[in-house]
A and B are shown apart, each in its own frame.
Chain A
Amino acid sequence: GENVEQHPSTLSVQEGDSAVIKCTYSDSASNYFPWYKQELGKGPQLIIDIRSNVGEKKDQRIAVTLNKTAKHFSLHITETQPEDSAVYFCAAFSSGGSYIPTFGRGTSLIVHP
């Protein structure tokens, strides 16, 4: 089955700095890669996603890049703000078989004012 590794587990930055979170996956049949933000006491919420036919996608301060050859994808947050503090999860959906997602273990992002 699919295996998703996410790093780092904790990331601490100063307000205004950039943050990068990386994930690697094992199943070459995976073709959809969402990123979720989870605030304390709430359920995860989709913030950006990318499909395997695209190398990069951007939405204001958030961007995701995908390298299919190396099987890794990354979340980039620029000009971080205190409200970006949360746990971020990556996931990979495989098109082979039952098409169910595998999640990374999460990254706790702390943005210091």
Chain B
Amino acid sequence: NAGVTQTPKFRILKIGQSMTLQCTQDMNHNYMYWYRQDPGMGLKLIYYSVGAGITDKGEVPNGYNVSRSTTEDFPLRLELAAPSQTSVYFCASSYSQEFYNEQFFGPGTRLTVL
């Protein structure tokens, strides 16, 4: 199993550009999450999904959108990039939220908005 994979690893965007961060997991996990990590801060939840076709907002959803058309994929969309979105983005997945909670994280995408 490859686990959780993310692409790209690095990206530089100009203000106002858009992009999609890709996330795929091959563990047949129902739950998937997107976090952002800013220097000296913990992980902040952006969006999460409990299964295909179902998504919900986390703590910091503004400026982002997600979709979950399949169990494996959970892309994160930035429509109008802003400097405040400069961060490292992590995707994670877990079998369930309550009964087996271990979250498996991808390697991250480092995004810079100039």
Q: Tell me the smallest distance from the CB of A31 to a CB of chain B, in Å.
A: 9
Q: Tell me the smallest distance from the CB of A77 to a CB of chain B, in Å.
A: 19
Contact partner of B90 (CB less than 8 A), chosen from A44, A91, A100, is A44
Whether the Cβ atoms of A43 and B48 lie closer than 8 Å is no
Task: Number of B interface residues at 8 Å Cβ cutoff, please give it.
Answer: 23
For chain B, what secondary structure do more than half of its interface residues adopt (helix, strand, loop), or is it mixed?
loop
Q: Tell me the smallest distance from the CB of B51 to a CB of chain A, in Å.
A: 14
- Contacting B at CB under 8 A, from A62-113, are 89, 91, 93, 95, 98-101, 103-106
Interface range, A side: 20 to 34
Whether the Cβ atoms of A43 and B107 lie closer than 8 Å is yes
A46 at the interface (CB under 8 A from B): yes
Closest to A105 in B: B42
Contact partner of B108 (CB less than 8 A), chosen from A34, A43, A98, is A43
Q: How far is the CA of A9 from the CA of B42 in the complex (A)?
A: 11
B79 at the interface (CB under 8 A from A): no
Whether the Cβ atoms of A46 and B42 lie closer than 8 Å is no
Contact partner of A106 (CB less than 8 A), chosen from B33, B42, B106, is B42
25 CB-based A-B contacts, threshold 8 Å = A4-B42, A9-B40, A32-B98, A34-B101, A34-B103, A36-B105, A41-B107, A41-B108, A42-B107, A42-B108, A43-B4, A43-B92, A43-B108, A44-B43, A44-B105, A49-B102, A89-B42, A95-B98, A98-B56, A99-B97, A99-B98, A100-B45, A103-B42, A105-B42, A106-B41
Interface residues in chain A, defined as those with a beta carbon under 8 Å from any beta carbon in chain B? 1, 4, 6, 9, 32, 34, 36, 41-46, 49, 89, 91, 93, 95, 98-101, 103-106
Interface residues in chain B, defined as those with a beta carbon under 8 Å from any beta carbon in chain A? 4, 33, 40-45, 48, 56, 58-59, 90, 92, 97-98, 101-103, 105-108
9 A-B pairs closest in CB distance: A43-B105, A103-B42, A103-B43, A99-B97, A105-B42, A46-B102, A44-B105, A32-B101, A43-B107
